[in-house]
Amino acid sequence: MKKKPRTLITNGTIITPARLWEGGAILVEGGRIASIGRRDDFGTLPDAEIMDATGHWVAPGYVDVHVHGAVGRDMMEGTAEAISTAATFFARHGTTAFLPTSITDSPEAIGRFLGAVVEAQRRGTGGAQVLGAHVEGPYINPKMSGAQPTEFIRPADRQEYERWFASGVVRLITLAPEIPENRALIPYALQHGAVVSIGHSAATYQETMAAVGLGVNHATHTFNAMSGLHHRDPGTVGAVLYADKVYAELIADTVHVHPAAMAILVRAKGSGRTVLVTDAMAAAGLGDGDYPLGAHVTYVRNSIARVANGSLAGSLLTMDQAVKNIVRETGSTLAQAVERASLTPARSIDVADCKGSLEPGKDADVLLLDKDLNVTLTMVRGEIVYRQ
């Protein structure tokens, strides 16, 4: 049977930035959202596939700006195939677009990683869409390395980062601005279309605010691997919570950050500046065992990932679970939780013109969620890539 050119999603409760729309309908055409309205507005539509979303939420696809791998595959393998395999898993858990994320490694390994991102973006993944790369490290503070291998941490080197930007895919860079050499990269990255995030940093409150003055407006896994908030010395965390323009990533797995600290963050930053990320690594979707994370090994025991020195490594979190945790642990509404997983991350990396919400003209990245917020269907640019 010939595929119909249009799809009408009906009978669900649509989550839009403006409101929850019970019984609304979304017309998808050419990979985009053509219009949203009442079912009756669309008439019979003989050329459209009708998708019945009765009993479901219709949500915008989630956007994960910080993720290292899944199902045994690591972004640092440096192949488009590893990225695509992980992307298929992400789509089952609601992620429709993401930034493959590197970890601190040799110049050659980061070069291979960026080459793989270029290739995966060109080919497409069959799952979540690649929007570019998040380069996390190597220009970080060894005192706040967390699970990043310290032997490759180095000050920013212009020849090296010029090569990164020549790839054309760098969208987000995590760095420690208190390292003097790293500060010159901030204006350079902004001029070349990337967003700069403070992370793995021991910056004081003053140093963080100075970096914000230079254009840093994003914080990598807030609370983790950064100087904490003391009331006479507010540290990186204090500056991130205080500076209104800073988007704050949060690993909402209740392991990396205590539920009370999760709630404090969402109250301080609001839905407009809270960015849910998974920071997931190769073990996501599998469970206990030993897994690669760049040049190192992570040990997963009782669903918690650590490197050999005992530091927490990336998580086993998925975006659908992060949304559930935010609703359960922080007293947020579903609409607020969904916004922090979709529109706010899209805005944080400047792709909200086509991503992040269900609005006419945007890409048709659509989820159906059951009443327990499990993903039952994922659509990426109008194509169904997962159905339960």
Q: What is the binding site for Zn ion (CB under 5 A)?
A: 136, 279
CA distance 342 to 320: 11
Other residues' Cβ atoms within 10 Å of the Cβ of residue 282: 29
Residue 136 beta carbon to Zn ion: minimum distance, rounded to whole angstroms: 5
Residue placing its CB nearer to Zn ion in the complex, 279 or 339:
279
Q: Smallest distance, Å, CB 279 to Zn ion? A: 4
Phi, psi of 366 (to 5 degrees): -130, 140
Question: If residue 170 lies in a helix (H) or strand (E), which one and from where to where?
Answer: strand 170-175
Question: Whole-angstrom Cα distance, residue 379 to residue 381?
Answer: 6
Can you name the residues that pair with 83 across neighbouring β-strands? none
Helix (H) or strand (E) holding 7: strand 6-10
**Which helix (H) or strand (E) covers residue 195, if one does?**
strand 195-198
Of the pair 145, 332, the CB lying nearest Zn ion is at: 145
Residues forming a β-bridge with 62: 95
Q: What CA–CA distance (Å, rounded) separates 87 from 372?
A: 23
Indicate the SS3 state at residue 360: coil
- Give the residue at shortest CB distance from Zn ion: 279
Give exposure, 140-169, as e/b (b: 16+ Cβ within 10 Å): bbeebbbbbbeebbbebeeeebeebbebeb
The nearer residue to Zn ion, 221 or 269, going by C-beta atoms, is: 221
> Closest distance between Zn ion and the C-beta of residue 85, in Å?
19
Nearer to Zn ion, 169 or 368 (CB): 169
Residue 136 or 253 with smaller CB distance to Zn ion: 136
Confirm whether 105 is a catalytic residue: no
Q: Of 279, 320, 363, 365, which residue is the catalytic one?
A: 279
Min dist. Cβ of residue 244 to Zn ion (A): 25
Sign of CA dihedral 54, 49, 98, 311: positive
CB of 66 to Zn ion, least distance (A): 6
Which residue matches tokens 């992980």?
86
**Within a 13 Å sphere around the CA of 254, how many CA atoms are in the beta-carbon half?**
12
Nearest CB to Zn ion, comparing residues 64 and 136: 136
Q: Minimum distance from CB of 31 to Zn ion (Å)?
A: 30
Catalytic residues: 279
